[in-house]
Amino acid sequence: MTAGPSLSFPPDFLWGAATASYQIEGAGAADGRGESIWDTFARVPGKVLHGHDGSVACDHYHLYPQDVALMRELNLSAYRFSLAWPRIFPDGRTLNRAGLDFYSRLVDELLAAGVTPWLTLYHWDLPQALEEAGGWPERDTALRFVDYAATVHDALGDRVHYWTTLNEPWCSAFLGYAAGVHAPGRTEPQAALRAAHHLLLGHGLATQELRRRDPSLSLGLTLNFTDTHPLDPATERDQDAARRIDGLANRFFVEPVTLGAYPADVLDDLGDLWPQDLVHDGDLEVIATPIDVLGVNYYATQTVTAGCPPERAAVAAAQARRHDLPSPSVGSEHVVGVRRGIPVSDMGWEISPDGLSDLLLRLHKDYTGPQGVRLVVTENGAAADDRPDAAGFVDDRDRVDYLDKHLRAVHDAVSRGADVDGYFVWSLLDNFEWAWGYTKRFGIVRVDYDTQERTPKASARWYADVAGSGLISGNGAQAPTT
């Protein structure tokens, strides 16, 4: 099933798995936790499939010792997790020490197991109280974020070396405030642009603050990237469609962080939608505060076309997003994603390992390499229609195949010069997949949501071998190469 020669990775390459607080912790009311925007959003009928929410999830808040033991069994050298801001500031302003203590226990447990903690401050669960004060479209939220970062550093700075400010600000801004398919579910294009800028500003300010406190920390942020292709590359309008989406989803975030400016063509596309009072003097310098690591989340390629005229009715019927719904692509609402008929995961996302090597090389060459910023794949993985056998075991060959091919793509990028220091599979556990609730399973470990029983799938065993040996084994036909 897996194909190709054996490949070996550098001895200090980080082998990890990733999760996020709201997706796994549960314990929604424990120890003074406040509400997040996802608690509120999940209660709105129709927003999350089957009305699912994160109030119980994988109950990781209570089961973390067993989850850390599992990481150790799987030979993971690192674990990427996020903190729930509303556990720590339930009302957005007042410190709740009991909430912070949970993460201190978790970090101790990880260190005792020899697993390096890779901490993300914000993976989408904004305190509801801060949304009520205006949320990310308000500049003040960026300042609250810095206070939060400093408080977490006070508690964990002695034990955590790797700090990520934000996970995927594109999702927070454009799925949350423009498309309305993520919390807080607003559909206001200009608010989404304000949110994007304030997320980046919060990232820059927090990076400055953490750097000032301890210059030895490894600091960065994680962005989601999709390798974007025009449906019909022979037409100028599809080429323009691809440029627009690459601009808004990819370059709009990576360029201010690494080059200190928003891409001019995207500002052009936005025209009057771009609020003239949004960017204050000095903001872009703050946003471009040097980082050590750019986290790369990669799942799929996407194919786009401009509009859906009648001659493309067949394509339109298969398109991923109905274009009469609010679009995340502010200023480029006429651009729609389409499927080309190549294999997709259970999310309907086009599987394309080559897109990952192309992306890593592009980031290295255009953005991170010249500044000595390291790359780490902070998420990669696939949802699959996992069915346990009578003994409860999931033989998820499709996921093994996906991971094998994407790790080969990472290896390829490294051998061609990209500085990639690690790889985190998404996800350690089946978990709450946002608007899809518990219907999509990304875990290498199965979670039975009735019993909370964890069962490693075939992919977990495969990944444990890779993480333990630093080697992807071949199909036996070829000799190992490096």
When the beta carbons of 212 and 322 are compared against ligand PNW, the nearer one is: 322
CA distance 299 to 295: 13
**Does 433 help bind ligand PNW (rule: CB under 6 A)?**
yes
- Binding residues among 436-475 for ligand PNW as defined by CB under 6 A: 442
The nearest distance, CB 183 to ligand PNW, in angstroms, is: 12
Q: Which stretch binds ligand PNW (CB under 6 A): 72-80, 167-175, 267-275, 397-405?
A: 167-175
How are beta strands 218-230 and 162-167 bridged, if at all?
parallel
DSSP SS3 for 178 = coil
Using DSSP, state whether 10 is helix, strand or coil: coil
Calculate the alpha carbon distances from 467 to 10, 421, 471 in Å: 11, 13, 7
The binding track of 34-73 with respect to ligand PNW, each residue x by CB under 6 A or -, is ----------------------------------------
CB of 179: closest distance to ligand PNW in angstroms?
Answer: 9
The torsion angles phi and psi of 417, rounded to 5 degrees, stand at 110, -5
| Site pattern 389..428 for ligand PNW (x: CB under 6 A) | -------------------------------------x--
Catalytic residue among 25, 109, 379, 433: 379
167 binds ligand PNW (CB under 6 A): yes
The torsion angles phi and psi of 56, rounded to 5 degrees, stand at -115, -45
Q: Does 22 interact with ligand PNW (rule: CB under 6 A)?
A: no
Is residue 386 within the footprint of ligand PNW (CB under 6 A)? Answer: no
Question: Which 3 state secondary structure label does DSSP give 265?
Answer: helix
Is 286 or 378 the residue whose CB approaches ligand PNW more closely? Answer: 378
Per-residue contact flags (x/-) with ligand PNW for residues 297 to 316, judged by CB under 6 A: x-------------------
User: Taking CB under 6 A as the rule, does residue 25 contact ligand PNW?
Assistant: no
In the block, residue with structure tokens 């909430």: 99
Cβ closer to ligand PNW: 185 or 474?
185
- Of the candidate spans 3-11, 50-58, 165-173, 283-291, the one that interacts with ligand PNW by CB under 6 A turns out to be 165-173
How many whole angstroms separate alpha carbon 336 and alpha carbon 321? 7
379 is catalytic: yes
430 binds ligand PNW (CB under 6 A): no
Tell whether residue 171 is a contact of ligand PNW (CB under 6 A). yes
CB nearer ligand PNW, residue 246 or residue 283: 246
- Label the pairing between strands 374-380 and 420-426: parallel
Rounded Cα gap, residues 71 and 90, in angstroms: 30
- Could you say which residues in the range 212-241 bind ligand PNW, by CB under 6 A? 224
Q: What x-and-dash track marks residues 351-380 binding ligand PNW by CB under 6 A?
A: ----------------------------x-
Angle of helix 189-213 relative to helix 139-156, nearest 10 degrees, comes to 30
Question: Sign (positive/negative) of CA torsion 424, 427, 428, 434?
Answer: positive
Q: Taking a C-beta distance cutoff of 8 angstroms, is the pair 183, 40 a contact?
A: yes
Asked if the peptide bond before residue 469 counts as cis, ω within 30 degrees of 0, the response is no
Q: How far is CA 317 from the centre of its chain?
A: 29
Helices (H) then strands (E): counts for the chain: 18, 13
Among 7, 14, 17, 20, binds ligand PNW (CB under 6 A): 20
Between CA 217 and CA 29 the distance in angstroms is 32
Which region among 32-40, 57-65, 163-171, 385-393 touches ligand PNW (by CB under 6 A)? Answer: 163-171
Give dist(CA 79, CA 76) in Å, integer.
7
Q: To the nearest whole angstrom, how small is the minimum distance from the Cβ of residue 68 to ligand PNW?
A: 20
Q: Residues in the chain, how many?
A: 482
Residue 167 or 228 having the CB closest to ligand PNW: 167
Q: Of 7 and 167, which CB lies nearer to ligand PNW in the complex structure? A: 167
For residue 136, give the DSSP letter.
T
The distance of closest approach from Cβ of residue 349 to ligand PNW in the complex, given in angstroms and rounded to an integer, is: 8
Q: Which stretch binds ligand PNW (CB under 6 A): 149-157, 164-172, 399-407, 444-452?
A: 164-172
CB of 124 to ligand PNW, least distance (A): 7
Name residues contacting ligand PNW, limited to 122-161 (CB under 6 A). Answer: none
Q: How far apart are CA 300 and CA 303, in angstroms?
A: 10
Residue by residue, DSSP assigns 294-354 as EEEEEEEEEEEEES--GGGHHHHHT-SS-TTSPPSSTT-TTEEEE--SS-B-TT-PBP-HH
Q: What is the total count of residues that contact ligand PNW (CB under 6 A)? A: 11
Give me the least distance between CB of 104 and ligand PNW, in Å please: 23
* Max CA pair span of the chain: 63
Q: How far is the CB of 272 from ligand PNW (least distance, A)?
A: 26
Q: Compute, in degrees rounded to 10, the torsion defined by CA atoms 322, 138, 39, 425.
A: 70
- The set of catalytic residues is 379
Binding site for ligand PNW (CB under 6 A): 20, 23, 167-168, 171, 224, 297, 379, 426, 433, 442
